[in-house]
Amino acid sequence: MESYRDKKQLKVDHMELLEATAPGIDLADFMPTSCIPPEELMEMVEDLIAKHIKYKPWKTFCKKVLNDEEIRTRMLMAPGAKTVHHAYVGGLLEHTLQVARASMALCDVYPNLDRQTLLVGAIFHDLGKAWELSGGLTNDYTDEGRLLGHIQIGQDKLEPFLKRSKTLEDSLKLHLKHLITSHHGEHDFGSPVRPKTPEAFVLHFADNMDAKLNIIDQAYVDMDKTGQEWSPYMRFLERNVYRAPGTPDNSKKNDDKPENQCLLPLKA
């Protein structure tokens, strides 16, 4: 930074092309990132596992997958989608965390559900997205992503861990694979198989709902800036969305929101 004719001037002496994954490089310095840093989101996911998963083989399985270096690195950086929702570094983890939380909250209302398998399914349902999208500065689909889709990629990534787990029952492995394969809910949305267990229905609902609520939350951020009550037409939702005036004296305080625009609740 120099001065030139009384104006500040950026002088570039030297330029170097760094890989996005080069040591010391934090992509979050260059790109929109989740409010809560990805590492903290990952810890929150691990806390959920610690809290809900009591069955040793599931616990081990989750630990092995999340501690795999390539998987962990990619999960920390991955967006939740290309453009529609959670399109920022940490977006995949933020979405994963909320789907897992919603699933656990629903297990309190429907206690007959297999809470542990459902949680494993929630945590890994979109794993393939970490390879479906290139992430990084140009967040585009990869060849693999377009030709196979994230459901297939996710299955391929989990398969070796499932094979290696000798203690996990085949029926649980099959149920987990079903949860992942069916989580889009309908053929139309790219699920080769539709949900056939209550856990698969719940995972699909939680996934679908979180994606939509995130889209609306982002529209709200823009509407806050302009003071509009109605969003512009949103192609993905095929409608305009509305911010209804809230119930007065609502026990919920919105105080944390204006501060950092961080829509994810810190502890839910």
| Least distance (Å) between residue 126 CB and its own copies | 14
Integer CA distances (angstroms), 243 to 128, 219, 224, 230, 235, in order: 33, 10, 10, 7, 18
Name residue 9's beta-bridge partners: 2
Question: Which residues lie closer than 8 Å to 254 by C-beta, 6 or more apart?
Answer: none
- Residue 32 vs 265, nearer CB to its own copies: 265
| Least distance (Å) between residue 78 CB and its own copies | 19
Q: What is the separation, in whole angstroms, between the first and last Cα of the chain? A: 45
- Residue 113 vs 130, nearer CB to its own copies: 113
Q: Give CA–CA dist 238/241, Å, rounded.
A: 10
Q: Give CA–CA dist 142/157, Å, rounded.
A: 16
The two three-digit tokens of residue 46, written as one number: 């691990």
- Residue 30 vs 230, nearer CB to its own copies: 230
Name residue 8's beta-bridge partners: 3
| Least distance (Å) between residue 38 CB and its own copies | 19
| Least distance (Å) between residue 116 CB and its own copies | 4
| Least distance (Å) between residue 81 CB and its own copies | 16
- Residue 26 vs 51, nearer CB to its own copies: 51
